[in-house]
Structure 1
Amino acid sequence: MTNMTQARRMGQCILLLDNTLVSFGFYLAFPLISSHFVGQLHWPALWVGCALGGRQFCQQGLSWLGGGLADRFGAKPAILSGLVLRAASFALLAHAENIGALLASCLLAGVGGALFEPARGALLARLLPPSRRERFFAWLMTTENLSAAGGAWAGSLLLDWGFY
């Protein structure tokens, strides 16, 4: 195996692991968010649901922008910027004391996702030979869905420990 092939395989493994951990960690927070804001702070579930839905809408709606920025500046800066924004959004979420702060943190999380998600796909397309793309993307989506389910399950186990 050549050094280039080894480097590509390592990059594929790193992106697969990154995607799994990001998905697991993100969905781990959902039960905690719902429990904290609706159950403990007694905010209307509609508000919390709209904020979480706003994150999804923002992420999917701005993916074209994230993909364009990744094309212009490279996938790695877009992925790193997106992950930093997602981390900042969780820090803001931890201290949200009103619906505006919750919505801002959710929208910031959506912008972060819009940066790293399309950049990751583009980087994988470059790292994978055409003969392996279909199988690898199937693995990627499988691990993403399993880690999302596992993250939500783990988050539900953490409910007794509190939001912070």
Structure 2
Amino acid sequence: MPFDLGLGPTIWMGFAILVAGFIRGYSGFGFSAMVIAASSVVTNPLHFVAVVVILETAMSLQAAKGIGPDIDWRRVWMLLAGAVVGLPLGLWLLTGVSETAARAMISGYILLMCAVLLAGWRLRSEVRGPWNLVAGVVSGLANAPGMDLFLA
């Protein structure tokens, strides 16, 4: 069995990944958070980081096929530059936490993000200029453990 999971946990993760894929297809985000949260029920959630990174990359590349001309590439490059700084820092922080701490941080982060969504919070204006670089660093930190989770 993959990741040394038994039959039950493997079925659980298959179902969780299917549901997470549906949620991402419907909303455009949330796949990583769902997969990592579901994996924390049956195993160390940090084991699924690589799986989530690979699946998120494949889904993003597939979605990006026809939208190239509509993308603000300057902003994308600023976000990526920030993420290049934030992601390794987040991964470095991630390596120093226990499985229990990782589960607690994942749960706390998901709860916080759900509360923000439930409250209906919105940005009042578009993020521009150097703030895109800051947003990229925060994104890199948040994406280190599961491409949506601030455990880094």
TM-score by length of 1: 0.40
Structure with larger RCO (C-alpha < 8 A, sep 6+): 1
In the superposition, the TM-score normalised over structure 2's length comes to 0.42
Q: Based on CA coordinates, which of the two structures has the bigger radius of gyration? A: 1
